[in-house]
Structure 1
Amino acid sequence: MSVIIRKSLLELIFSGAFMKRWNDKLRPMELVEVDKQAHKMIVAWLLFVLNSGSMDVASKRALGESIVEGGIFDYLYRLVITDIKPPVFYRIKENPADYQTLTNWVLSELRPRITPLGDDFMRRMSAYLMQPEDTGLARRILHAAHLYASYSEFKLLKSINRMDHELIEIEQSFIDRLSAMRDITGVAELLDEDSNVFGRFARMCGRLRFQKRWSQTPRVPETSVLGHLFIVAAFSWFFSMEVGACRARCQNNFFAGLFHDLPELLTRDIISPVKSSSQDIADLIHEYENRELHRVVLTPLKEGGYSVIADRLEYLLGLAVGSEFKATICQDGAVVEADEAQLAGGFNQDSLDPKDGPLLKVCDSLAAFIEAHTALKNGISSGQLHHALYRIRARYNETPVIAGVQISALLADFD
């Protein structure tokens, strides 16, 4: 069965922007599920890179695939069970019969939207969710990343909830469970994030939740740069499945989606009309982003002993070819720009480490389209939102198929 991405799946992925977290606590800002998932998967990638260095290529690809799919399965599950408090959920998991009953119900709720992804995807998801106590490395990396991302949120609200009787117990639980996973390379550094560049970078990425997209335009829901990263990454994974991308290409597309707006840690979310107002301004912004990216992120990682992470980030961000939205391969030790036809043909093989920049751009535009479309559907009337929809539609009406994705036809489903 071929994979076909439909509107309902894209809207399901986006729905995490509505889902509030810690909503029984006083919060300095709204904390939402899609932001947490983005931070979790960024940290999972960092742990993946550190813990796969000695693996052969096949084992590394298999681990990366398990981490990405496991993260997506967890997210979809979470979207359905919504607001069950963690202590209650953990009690349910302790009883296999109760957990199986809950999971069967979750799968039945997800099936109508997941079915277009194919029977194999549904089988893998069912097998993963029915085995919550799997102790493989991928599952443990995801769990450590989940704990770190949730603990990072907890630290944001800790100081304004001092009268809460649960606070001490919650924090100690995070520390104890993370400490039990110190055998995973990088977890000890996450626990002591102030004293090392690895931990500081993981924490820095979480700050992207503070930056709201479309900051001059009222929207419901508001989305952050952090949440947008996960949405684009998930879209990239599903569209990679649709176009038959190889393992390496699928993973590179997902992780490139997770980091494509990383420079906005340093520049904030500069809106498209400003970036495209003139080529001189676009070049100036790009030059500043690259300079600050090296100064604040890449150079400290390299000097701190994490060159493997810095080098991989450079590839995902397309620094060697000037843009994350250009297709690339690695050939004879060098990064080489490719075109869509090559990537869909002879370059679609793991050994070339391909990355699909044009597909990433489609997913970035589609995420922006759904943000604007959802706000308008929720009653927010704004000229900027209407103009964004018009601009995106017009762009893809001129080029209806990009990187193998029938983008124009998909946008028509939102009429």
Structure 2
Amino acid sequence: MGLSKPRLKSSLLRRLFVAASIRRWNDQACPVEFVELDKQAHKMVIAYLLARYEEQERGICIDWESLIKYFCFEFFARVVLTDIKPPVFHELQKHHQAELARYVMHELKKDLEEYEFFEEMQDYLRTSHSSVEIQILRAAHYYASKWEFDIIYHFNPHMYDVKNIKKIIDDEVEEHYHLRGIQKIVMFKNVSELVTMFGQLRFQKRWSQTPRVPATSVLGHTLCVAISAYFLSLDIGACEKMRINHFLCGLFHDLPEILTRDIISPIKRSVIGLDEHIKKIEEKAVKNKILSIVPPNIADDIIYFTQNEFGNRYKVECFTRVATSGEELIKNYNCNQYDPVYGEFLKICDQLSAFLEAKISITHGISSAELIDGAENIFKKCSQSIINGVDIGAIFRDFV
């Protein structure tokens, strides 16, 4: 049987990176630069926390795949409609929602029409819905905006209209106080600090030793890995639980870097035993700073997502097992009851995001030996990758 080509288009991936160049609050005096890709990644991390709190404390069943899909629908629409300021956008949504949706779907048709959810996305953007997943995404959206604007407000509270903008955002967050996670963030300092801890990954730049355009952050990178992993999981025939795990593992795989910063691969590889020692330091830091303050369901996830993040693994009665190969994992454990993670596949998605970071900067005319060598090395490793009969390497070859 011949290889099939992934439906994930290089043009869609380029759109994700456009979000790294979209400045937020560009009519305000900002002490740091806020970009759309980072805001969206922070929004999804907050949405994850809110969803887990709803499950843990109120026993509500969250449809995780719908939460992920709805997030992607909103993100892609925002990238298409980026030039519209939020107050104007919300006003237009009230009166021209269907027309805006039609425009977005027309713009994204070539990138997304092969996916099963294409019609669902059209319906989602065209009409208003109010499931718990949508409420969570709205609350996360407003809280991520509040987190940004609080920094701007404290930097210069006397600029024109900032008090009014702050009140509007605070009121929007207050409308979601019925969600247990929002209550926790507002009432408990350690939970709000957790949100800030994730937010600080916005300020850690990738490839920090070389100029790059756009200069993506660690947090933005994790979202690109998450979306690539989810979309490609649809192609490789991953079960629903594996697809969800791939998105969340992509989102959280660099979480320990909040606590250790991004130690570049050549250093890790050059000093014998260093990589292993770094892992131990990271695990200890995650345990002390994060696992100690979150409920058990979030702690279990973070351990599963960040320890041996690129290992092929599954669960039997809550105990983690390691598969001898990706082929064995797909053949024997590709069903929801095993909670599987195809770590080798995730590593390719991680490399894909790094490859794009280098290639897109080179295309923009900002190049260096590190970027050129980095892109070439990743291309050699990944351009012939085949996962479960799908030619994943084709995406890398599309960029050359």
| TM-score, with structure 2 as normaliser | 0.94
Q: Which residue of 1 aligns with 2:142?
A: 147
Q: Which residue of 2 aligns with 1:331?
A: 316
Deviation at 1:44, TM superposition (A): 0.6
Deviation at 1:165, TM superposition (A): 2.7
CA contact 2:41–2:222 (8 Å) conserved in 1 = yes
CA contact 2:5–2:394 (8 Å) conserved in 1 = no
Q: What letter matches 2:351 in structure 1?
A: S
Deviation at 1:277, TM superposition (A): 1.2
Q: What letter matches 2:258 in structure 1?
A: L
Deviation at 1:300, TM superposition (A): 3.1
Deviation digits for residues 351-385 of structure 1 (CA, Å, limit 9, x no counterpart): 11111211211111000000000110111120000
Equivalent residue in structure 2 for 1:47, among 43, 50, 56: 50
Equivalent residue in structure 2 for 1:36, among 28, 31, 39: 39
CA distance in 1, matches of 2:214, 2:390: 27
Tell me, what secondary structure is at the counterpart of 1:159?
A: helix
Gaps of 5+ in 2: none
CA contact 1:213–1:223 (8 Å) conserved in 2 = yes
Deviation at 1:102, TM superposition (A): 1.6
CA contact 2:38–2:202 (8 Å) conserved in 1 = yes
CA distance in 1, matches of 2:269, 2:5: 37
- Does 1:99 find its partner at 2:78? no
Tell me, what secondary structure is at the counterpart of 1:406?
A: coil
- Does 1:382 find its partner at 2:368? yes
Q: Which residue of 2 aligns with 1:76?
A: 76
Equivalent residue in structure 1 for 2:302, among 294, 313, 316: 313
Deviation at 1:405, TM superposition (A): 4.7
- Does 1:122 find its partner at 2:108? no
Tell me, what secondary structure is at the counterpart of 1:345?
A: helix
Q: Which residue of 1 aligns with 2:16?
A: 13
- Does 1:174 find its partner at 2:169? yes
CA distance in 2, matches of 1:414, 1:283: 33
Deviation at 1:349, TM superposition (A): 0.7
Deviation at 1:54, TM superposition (A): 7.7
Q: Which residue of 1 aligns with 2:330?
A: 344
Q: Which deviates further from its counterpart, 158-167 or 212-221?
A: 158-167
CA contact 1:266–1:292 (8 Å) conserved in 2 = yes
Deviation digits for residues 1-45 of structure 1 (CA, Å, limit 9, x no counterpart): 996222112212222111111111111222111100110000111
CA distance in 2, matches of 1:41, 1:3: 25
Tell me, what secondary structure is at the counterpart of 1:330?
A: strand
Instruction: Say if 1:56 and 1:240 are closer, same or farther in 2 by CA, change over 3 A.
Output: farther
Q: What letter matches 2:153 in structure 1?
A: K
Deviation at 1:197, TM superposition (A): 2.4
Deviation at 1:289, TM superposition (A): 1.0
Q: Which residue of 2 aligns with 1:65?
A: 65
Deviation at 1:88, TM superposition (A): 0.6
Tell me, what secondary structure is at the counterpart of 1:329?
A: strand
Q: Identity of counterpart residues, as a percentage?
A: 36
- Does 1:364 find its partner at 2:350? yes
Equivalent residue in structure 2 for 1:354, among 335, 340, 352: 340
CA distance in 2, matches of 1:4, 1:414: 15
Deviation digits for residues 93-130 of structure 1 (CA, Å, limit 9, x no counterpart): 221xx2211221111011111123x2x22111101111
CA distance in 2, matches of 1:208, 1:333: 30
Instruction: Say if 1:404 and 1:326 are closer, same or farther in 2 by CA, change over 3 A.
Output: farther
Instruction: Say if 1:291 and 1:177 are closer, same or farther in 2 by CA, change over 3 A.
Output: same
Q: What letter matches 2:350 in structure 1?
A: D
CA contact 1:179–1:188 (8 Å) conserved in 2 = no
Equivalent residue in structure 2 for 1:138, among 127, 133, 147: 133
CA contact 1:235–1:363 (8 Å) conserved in 2 = yes
CA contact 1:327–1:355 (8 Å) conserved in 2 = yes
Instruction: Say if 1:408 and 1:279 are closer, same or farther in 2 by CA, change over 3 A.
Output: farther
Q: What letter matches 1:82 in structure 2?
A: T
Instruction: Say if 1:56 and 1:341 are closer, same or farther in 2 by CA, change over 3 A.
Output: farther
Q: What letter matches 1:126 in structure 2?
A: Q
Q: Which residue of 1 aligns with 2:379?
A: 393
Q: What letter matches 1:163 in structure 2?
A: H
CA contact 2:236–2:387 (8 Å) conserved in 1 = no
Deviation at 1:207, TM superposition (A): 0.7
Trace 1:155-304 onto structure 2 (pairs within 5 A): 155-192=150-187, 195-301=188-294
Q: What letter matches 1:43 in structure 2?
A: I
Q: What letter matches 2:46 in structure 1?
A: V
Deviation digits for residues 80-102 of structure 1 (CA, Å, limit 9, x no counterpart): 0012111111111221xx22112
CA contact 1:151–1:174 (8 Å) conserved in 2 = yes
Residue-pair matches, total: 396
Where in structure 1 do 4 or more consecutive aligned residues deviate above 3 Å? 53-57, 402-405
Q: Which residue of 2 aligns with 1:26?
A: 29
| TM-score, with structure 1 as normaliser | 0.91
CA contact 1:358–1:402 (8 Å) conserved in 2 = no
- Does 1:408 find its partner at 2:393? yes
Deviation digits for residues 315-351 of structure 1 (CA, Å, limit 9, x no counterpart): 111x3xxx10012111022111123113322311111
CA distance in 1, matches of 2:206, 2:142: 26
